[in-house]
A = this chain, B = another copy of it.
Amino acid sequence: MGGIRERSSQGQQIYETKFRVRYAETDQMGVVYHSNYVIWFEVGRVEMLRQLGFTYRDMEQQDETHIAVVDLRCRYKVPARYDDLICVRTRLLNVRESLLRFGYEVVRDTDELLLAEGETVHLVVDAQLKRMKLPEKYLSAFLLAAGQNS
């Protein structure tokens, strides 16, 4: 499930992906354990790539291009709960030759309540974790999604 929602203010495309909270993701406070939002950000990133016409699987396997997380930030507003239908809204905040910055909103789908928001910064690296430039096909698509003029 998912789709694209244009946002005009900064020209960035917003990509949505939806899934339900798993029981395994809850903790004894009765809410989702906070590290799971980090995994949800990854789900958002991956589905954004798919909606851009790529898969991260091919990016790794065919183009030996990996994006390694170097910085993570998450602000928690309202706890997600078991069986909630979650919508992750992902966008590219910044694109450079070997660096990507993604932004995320985690929303409860039924009432659009913002549960959490965050950012991740990634270096583009090869299989040996050495920094490299994004292959051109990704770079141009990412610049477009980020609303940047290349």
Contact flag A70-B66 (CB < 8 Å), given A24-B39, A33-B23: no
A62 to B66, CA, bound (A): 25
Chain A residues with a Cβ closer than 8 Å to the other chain, count: 39
Binds B, one of A72-80, A96-104, A105-113, A131-139: A72-80
Asked if A129 is an interface residue, CB under 8 A from chain B, the answer is yes
A70 touches B76 (CB 8 A): yes
Q: How far is the CB of A7 from chain B (nearest CB, A)?
A: 24
Contact flag A33-B29 (CB < 8 Å), given A71-B76, A72-B72, A83-B46: no
A101 to B9, CA, bound (A): 34
Which A residues are within 8 Å of any B CB, using their own CB?
1, 19-20, 22-24, 26-31, 33-36, 38-39, 42-43, 46, 55-57, 66, 68-76, 79, 82-83, 118, 129
